[in-house]
Amino acid sequence: MSLITYLTRIHFGAGLLDEALRMECGRLAITRALIVTDKGLMATGLPERVANLLAPDVASVIFDETPQNPTEAATQAGLQLYRDEKCDALLALGGGSAIDLAKAIALTSSHDGPLSQYAVIHGGIAKIMNRLPPLIAIPTTAGTGSEVGRGAIIVLNDHRKLGFISPHLIPDAAICDPELTLTLPPHLTAATGMDALTHCVETYIAAVFNPPADGIAIDGLKRAAANIRQAATDGSQIEPRTQMMAAAMNGALAFQKGLGAVHAMSHALGGLPGRTLHHGMLNAVLLPHVLRFNEPEVGHRYAELKQAMSLPASADLADAISQLTADLGLPTTLSQMNVTRTDLDTAAPLAEQDHTNATNPRKASTADYAMLLSEAF
C-alpha cells in the first residue's frame, strides 16, 4: 500500500521572481516576513533586492545566520528574531540549508519545544499540525529540491542530524527562477547537482510502490545527466541551469517515495560535530558503493537508469557515476573529504537508525554500513 500525493504550488521559469513573489505574498496575506538566508548570498545583494521587491506592501527582516548544515541553534536564533520582529511569514532564500532552516523556524514558531520530538524517528510526523505560518521558498541552487519537499534535515544540539517530515512542512509556494543560479560557482553547481541526481537514482530504486515517483525520477535523471557537466563548466547559460533546476525539483517531488542507504550515510556523516561536510559531495562519493550493494535486489532496474543517463547497456552504472563525479572535479573518496576512520565508526550505527534506511531496497545493518563506509573511504 502506498500514499501518493503531489500537492504543491510551483512557479517555474527564468525571470519570474518579481511577479511570482508579489503574487504569493498577496495570496498568503503576508504583512511582515522573515527572510532566511546566508552570508554568501548577502554578499551578492539578492536578499536586499528581495526585501526591496516586497516593500512597501510587505515589511521584512533579514536573518542571514544560516550555517552550511542547518542547526537547532540557528533555528532558535531565527525564531527569536521572528518573534522579536513580530513576523507573520517566512521567506527562504538560498540552498537547501536556508529552506530547511526556515521550515524548522516555522515549525518551532507554532509548536512547543523541544525540536527533537518532531523528528521522524521520534514519531514526529503525527505531532506536526496544520498551523505553521506561511512559507515561500526561493531556491538559489539546483540540488536539494527542499522548496517542493515535505522534509527538513536539522543538526540537533546533541549533534544528531535528523529528518523532520510532514505535509505541513511543504512550502506554501516555491519560486524556481533559474536566473538565480547563474552565478553559482562550478564546484557548488557540481556538488548540489549530484545531490539532485542522487535523489532521482535513489528514489527510483527505493523499496516502495510509487509509479508516479519513478516516472518523475527518471525524467529528472535524464535532465541532470545531460546538463550537469555543462552547468558546472559554463554556468552562464540559462538552458542547462533551467534543466538542472528542473532535475532538482523532480528529485524532491519524487523522493517523498523514499530514499535509501546513500542518504542514511550522508545524514550520519553530515551531523559529525565540528565538520561541514557537503551533503551533495557525500552523496556523490557514496552512491556508486550503494549501487553495488543494492545490485542483488534491484540490479534488474539499472538498465532504465543507464538509458536515462544515455549510457551504453554494457556500461557499469556505479563506475559511470564515479567517473562523472571525478569529471566534475569532486572528491571520489571520503578520505579526500578529510573524513577519518573514527568518523566511520561513529556514522555506521547512526546510518542504520536514519529514517531513509527503511526504504533502501536491500536491508542494511550497522555492519553493512560499516563495510560501505570503509569501501568509500
CB closer to Zn ion out of 195 and 295 = 195
Binding segment for Zn ion among 65-73, 187-195, 221-229, 302-310 (CB under 5 A)? 187-195
Q: Residue 138: in which H helix or E strand, if any? A: strand 135-139
Min CB(175)–Zn ion separation in Å: 21
Q: Which residues pair with 33 in a beta bridge?
A: 60, 89
Smaller CB distance to Zn ion: residue 109 or 357? 357
For the CB of residue 328, give the shortest distance to Zn ion in the complex, in Å. Answer: 16
How many residues bind Zn ion (CB under 5 A)? The answer is 1
Nearest residue relative to Zn ion (C-beta): 195
What grid cell was written down for 157? 544540539
The minimum distance between CB 202 and Zn ion, in angstroms, equals 8
The answer to whether residues 196 and 224 touch, using CB atoms and an 8 Å cutoff, is: yes
Stretch that binds Zn ion, among 44-52, 156-164, 189-197, 233-241 (CB under 5 A): 189-197
Identified binder of Zn ion from the candidate list 24, 88, 100, 195, rule CB under 5 A: 195
202 binds Zn ion (CB under 5 A): no
Nearest to 46 by CA among 70, 26, 17, 66: 17
Q: How far apart are CA 300 and CA 112, in angstroms?
A: 47
In the complex, the smallest distance separating the C-beta of residue 259 from Zn ion, rounded to whole angstroms, is 7
Nearer of residues 133 and 270 to Zn ion, judged by Cβ: 270
The helix or strand, by DSSP H or E, that contains position 204, with its residue range, turns out to be: helix 186-204
Cβ nearer to Zn ion, comparing 195 with 214: 195
Q: How many CB atoms lie within 10 A of CB 15?
A: 12
88 vs 195, which CB is nearer to Zn ion? 195
Alpha carbon separation from 315 to 216, 303, 304, 306 (Å, rounded):
23, 9, 12, 8
Nearest distance, CB of residue 153 and Zn ion, angstroms: 8
The answer, yes or no, to whether the previous bond of 134 is cis (omega within 30 of 0) is: no
With CB under 5 A as the contact rule, which of the stretches 126-134, 151-159, 188-196, 363-371 interacts with Zn ion?
Answer: 188-196
In terms of CB distance, is 202 or 352 closer to Zn ion? 202
Q: In terms of Cα–Cα distance, which of 212, 357, 340, 339 is closest to 293?
A: 357
In whole angstroms, how close is the CB of 279 to Zn ion at the nearest point? 6
52 to 45, 60, 141, 333: CA distances (angstroms): 11, 9, 22, 44
Residues that bind Zn ion (CB under 5 A): 195
